[in-house]
Amino acid sequence: MENFSLNCAKSYIGKNVNLHLKDGAVIVNVQLRGIHKGEGKNSIIEYTPYCNRRSTQIPLRNVAWAETLNRSLLKPAS
């Protein structure tokens, strides 16, 4: 399995994903908003949780991989 890199992260921008972290935790059902490039491996991923307007950030080096979600299986909030 390849490392989660800047190029991989760019392909997920605007999509709903589950972020699997290197420590074994999973951030469930978030939409990637963008990437803030830093020097070397200090890039930051900005994401928004489902049904929330506030953005949160996490260092790119903490993410092991991302899993895309099928939006047709998600039930809209009522």
**pLDDT tens-digit profile of 7-28?**
889 999 999 999 999 999 999 9
Closest CA to 28 of 75, 69, 62: 69
pLDDT of residue 52: 82
**pLDDT tens-digit profile of 30-62?**
999 999 988 766 899 999 998 888 999 999 999
pLDDT of residue 73: 65
Task: Tell me the two tokens of residue 60.
Answer: 């790119």
Domains and CATH numbers, the chain: 6-70 (2.30.30.100)
Mean pLDDT score of the chain, rounded to an integer?
A: 87
CA distances from 78 to 1, 44, 54 (A): 38, 32, 20
